[in-house]
């Protein structure tokens, strides 16, 4: 004997009120459940209404029972908000300030700082995600080249001045030549 999926659905709200709630809904969870109700009000069976919202018939049964028992309050999801963060907003801001003052930091140093200053530990696998959520990013510090001169800007300026100085011999003129302008070497072919 097949179990009937046609349950009596209580009409806690009018169809117009459901339409209004659908327009105001901001998250997908509420939209799906309200859409499910709308489908039921339009005459769908529970499996059909659930299927239109991308859910199983069993989920549709649970939603229908919740609706019949307590109306909208019972039907809507009630997420607990999740686990509270280990650092509150003020502590997170303090951490960001400390990290910006003492750059650069290694992951191990940040772990040690969190333990010493705030008494919390984060998994090394999660630490990067946590820091990105705070608006920080990972970057390798660029070391100074050991061969870089002390005054590279002054050297560049002198070279530019020498190249643009018209009083001296042109850079393409060979010693002992008297002609002005470019020197053409007929032996060179390109």
- The predicted pLDDT at position 2 comes to 44
Instruction: Quote the CA–CA distance of 101 and 61 in Å, as a whole number.
Output: 57
pLDDT given for residue 179 in this prediction: 58
Give the tens place of pLDDT for each residue, 100-135. 888 788 889 999 999 999 999 999 999 989 999 998
Q: Which of 121, 85, 124 is nearest to 106 (CA)?
A: 124
In the prediction, which pLDDT does 92 show? 92
Strand ranges inside 10-113, DSSP E: none
Q: What is the pLDDT of residue 1?
A: 39
Spans of the chain, pLDDT less than 50: 1-4
134 burial type by CB count under 10 A (0-12 exposed, 13-18 middle, 19+ buried): middle
Nearest-angstrom CA–CA distance, 32 and 157: 68
Give the separation between CA 190 and CA 184, rounded to whole angstroms: 12
Average pLDDT over the chain, rounded to an integer: 82
pLDDT of residue 73: 86
Is residue 6 packed enough to be buried (19+ CB in 10 Å), middle (13-18) or exposed (0-12)?
Answer: exposed
Per-position DSSP letters for 94-128, written without gaps between them: HHHHHHHHT----HHHHHHHIIIII-----HHHHH
Predicted pLDDT of residue 160: 86
């Amino acid at each position: 004997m097949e179990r009937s999926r046609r349950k009596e659905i209580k009409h806690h709200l009018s169809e117009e009120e459901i339409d209004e709630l659908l327009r105001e809904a901001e998250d997908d969870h509420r939209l799906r459940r309200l859409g499910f109700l709308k489908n039921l009000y339009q005459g769908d069976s529970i499996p059909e209404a659930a299927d239109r919202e991308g859910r199983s018939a069993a989920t549709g049964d649970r939603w229908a029972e919740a609706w019949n028992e307590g109306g909208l309050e019972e039907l809507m999801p009630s997420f607990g908000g999740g686990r509270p963060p280990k650092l509150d907003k003020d502590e997170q801001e303090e951490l960001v300030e400390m990290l910006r003052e003492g750059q650069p930091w290694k992951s191990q140093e940040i772990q040690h700082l969190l333990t010493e200053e705030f008494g919390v530990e984060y998994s090394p696998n999660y630490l990067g995600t946590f820091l990105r959520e705070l608006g920080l990013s990972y970057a390798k510090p660029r070391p100074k080249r050991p061969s870089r001169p002390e005054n590279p800007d002054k050297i560049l300026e002198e070279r530019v001045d020498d190249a643009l100085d018209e009083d001296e011999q042109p850079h393409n003129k060979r010693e002992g030549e008297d002609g002005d302008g470019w020197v053409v070497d007929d032996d060179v072919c390109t």
